[in-house]
């Protein structure tokens, strides 16, 4: 139903925060995701109408994520973040989110499924099933000795961001500075290096989206498999501390990885401001920049629905088709769009998943 033969290009999206958004908004039932049809709902009906066949659903420890202090700088800002999160708290939070996901899948009458391998993903591409790629955003819930990583793999975990913006037992996240250099703080710990290698061995995709500069290069040297940045922007355009430099973009290309461009305006705008009225053209600019540095084979969508501040034109997931038109107008071909929308994700996941 969602494939190209129906004159629509299928989409695999690199990041959403729907599960933590539900907990934050006291949504504990699967009903919202499975049946909501109002224009602004991130829901099965809207996602399938938009052509999304699969997406990375994040488990994220949000408790006390920010102190609430946003300090304005002469030409930007910084956000004061919480300290490292206790593992027991993190584990409790992500398990609550995971339970909601399992309830959604069980209540979906086979409309939503957990993607465990490429065959599962291909079934989504050729049918009308929405595939959930389970992602952990920040490894706080994991035991530093990795005694529970296999358990999470068995539960369906197939993608892991080593850190969020704060530090944990495995490394240091890129703090929020605008403008800012990604190269702030120490790199991965020994536990972090071990985690990268364990993910490679199990077939879990490694994500560097919130990792700082030194941690990024530690992943580059430690990983034997392609790694990705699921939701980010280009530092050349928006000098946020969590955006990728051109050198990092080329390093991901060298590892045959992928860069998911976020829809969040704070990582897209040159001033980093959270303004919903931002035209989506700035998103096109970031996509084209990755194309110019690395090539169309290394860029994809990594929306950050339910997490970041999106351009008002893209708040309704159906409007993702606006980007298709704008990209064609900017000179991309239909084949280029196919790579951007789903083929690039398929390429990387085939190389990483066992």
CA distances from 101 to 18, 30, 121, 240, 350 (A): 10, 8, 17, 32, 24
Q: What pLDDT does 27 receive?
A: 93
Residue 3 has pLDDT above 50, yes or no: no
Q: What pLDDT does 5 receive?
A: 35
C-alpha 131/C-alpha 121 separation (Å) is: 7
CA distances from 102 to 151, 154, 208 (A): 16, 13, 26
pLDDT, tens only, 324-338: 999 999 999 999 999
Residue 126 has pLDDT above 90, yes or no: no
C-alpha 279/C-alpha 326 separation (Å) is: 11
DSSP annotation string for 16-69? E-HHHHHHHTT--STHHHHH--STT---HHHHHHHTEEEEEEEEE--TT-EEEE
Question: Domain spans of the chain?
Answer: 10-352
Helix or strand (DSSP H, E) at 338: helix 334-338
What 3-state DSSP class applies to 241? coil
C-alpha 122/C-alpha 136 separation (Å) is: 22
CATH domain 10-352 topology? TIM Barrel (3.20.20)
Q: What pLDDT does 4 receive?
A: 38
Assign residue 108 a region: left if phi > 0, alpha if psi is -120 to 50, beta otherwise?
alpha
Q: What pLDDT does 2 receive?
A: 40
Closest CA to 315 of 9, 38, 66: 38
Residue 208 near residue 219 (C-beta atoms within 8 A): yes
Q: What pLDDT does 6 receive?
A: 41
Tokens linked to 170: 């495995």
The mean pLDDT value of the chain amounts to 92
Q: What pLDDT does 128 receive?
A: 78
Up-side HSE of residue 248: CA atoms within 13 Å toward CB? 28
- When comparing pLDDT for 208 and 271, which is higher? 208
Q: What pLDDT does 63 receive?
A: 61
Residue 187 near residue 218 (C-beta atoms within 8 A): yes
pLDDT, tens only, 61-117: 876 555 445 666 666 666 666 677 889 989 999 999 999 999 999 999 999 999 999
């Amino acid at each position: 139903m969602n494939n190209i033969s129906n004159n629509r290009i299928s989409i695999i999206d690199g990041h959403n925060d729907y599960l933590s958004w539900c907990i934050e908004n006291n949504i504990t039932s699967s009903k919202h995701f499975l049946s909501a049809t109002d224009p602004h709902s991130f829901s099965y009906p809207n996602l399938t109408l938009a052509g999304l066949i699969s997406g990375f659903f994040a488990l994220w420890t949000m408790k006390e994520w920010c102190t609430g202090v946003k300090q304005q700088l002469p030409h930007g800002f910084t956000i004061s973040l919480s300290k490292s999160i206790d593992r027991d708290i993190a584990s409790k939070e992500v398990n609550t989110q995971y339970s909601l996901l399992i309830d959604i899948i069980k209540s979906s009458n086979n409309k939503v499924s957990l993607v465990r391998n490429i065959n599962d993903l291909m079934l989504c591409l050729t049918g009308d099933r929405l595939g959930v790629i389970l992602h952990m955003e920040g490894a706080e819930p994991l035991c530093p000795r990795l005694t529970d990583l296999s358990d999470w793999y068995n539960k369906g975990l197939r993608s892991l961001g080593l850190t969020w913006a704060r530090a944990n037992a495995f490394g240091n996240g890129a703090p929020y500075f605008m403008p800012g250099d990604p190269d702030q703080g120490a790199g991965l710990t020994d536990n972090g290096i071990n985690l990268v290698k364990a993910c490679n061995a199990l077939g879990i995709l490694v994500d560097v989206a919130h990792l700082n500069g030194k941690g990024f290069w530690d992943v580059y040297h430690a990983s034997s498999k392609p790694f990705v940045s699921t939701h980010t922007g280009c530092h050349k355009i928006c000098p946020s501390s969590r955006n990728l430099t051109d050198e990092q973009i080329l390093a991901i290309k060298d590892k045959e990885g992928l860069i998911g461009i976020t829809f969040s305006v704070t990582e897209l705008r040159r001033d980093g401001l959270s303004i919903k009225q931002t035209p989506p053209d700035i998103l096109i600019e970031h996509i084209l920049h990755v194309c110019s540095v690395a090539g169309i084979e290394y860029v994809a969508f990594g929306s950050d629905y339910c997490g970041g501040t999106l351009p008002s034109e893209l708040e309704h997931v159906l409007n993702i088709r606006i980007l298709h038109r704008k990209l064609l107008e900017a000179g991309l071909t239909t084949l280029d769009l196919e790579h951007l929308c789903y083929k690039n994700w398929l390429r990387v996941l085939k190389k990483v998943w066992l």
